[in-house]
Amino acid sequence: MTRQLLGRRAFVGAMAALMMAASSSGAGEIGAFLTLATPTKDWGTGFGVHAALISLPFLQAGGEFARIKGEDPLVSIETYTAQVEVNPPALKISPFVGLGIGAYRQKFGAVSDWGSLNAIFGGVRVPIGAARLRAEFRKISLSGTPRVNVDKRFSLGVSFRF
């Protein structure tokens, strides 16, 4: 079985487990963000989406997808992360910290490489009307020897609860 297929199966399995548990929690969150990765000499801007399928007063679990283009037009990276985060309940401005595991696919022209990733992240949510502004810093560790490394990511986005 290829590494690519194993990475996809692991991500799909983690997301399916989170969806089964979501029915007991009642509410979730969905959002989109713009992101900047470091080292900045190698990476341009990117975008992503996240969904929290389990959203309790102090805990969220879900996943995210992000795509970042390289400064070299032939290079890009996509990350697929299952994540859990904790945040204090009942605060208007809500800080959070979390952990994530998943897979990445780095493209270099017609060649693509798959690997695993882990992340530790933190940030803050600020209410703005019906939405919440989400600012996040993420430390990323990629497995193996990626052609172009990503070590940190700064993101700013908007999310909505459902």
pLDDT in tens, 23-60: 444 578 999 999 999 999 999 999 999 999 887 888 99
Phi then psi dihedrals of residue 10, to 5 deg: -65, -45
Q: What is the dihedral of CA 142, 148, 152, 155, to 10 degrees?
A: -110
Q: List the beta bridge partners of residue 134.
A: 125, 157
CA pair distance 118, 76, nearest whole angstrom: 18
Going from the N-terminus, what domains does the chain have, and what CATH number goes with each?
A: 3-161 (2.40.160.20)
Report the C-alpha gap between 106 and 145 in whole angstroms.
11
More confident residue, 49 or 9: 49
Residue 2, both tokens: 């290829």
- Name the residue with tokens 């695993």: 116
pLDDT, one tens digit per residue, over 59-84 is 999 999 999 999 999 999 999 999 99
Per-residue confidence at 128, pLDDT binned at 50, 70, 90? Answer: very high
pTM here is 0.81
The residues facing 77 across adjacent strands are 68, 106
Rounded to a whole number of angstroms, the distance between the first and last alpha carbons of the chain is 38
Arithmetic mean of pLDDT, 93-104: 96
Q: What is the C-alpha separation between 20 and 35, in angstroms, rounded?
A: 30
Amino acid at 126: V
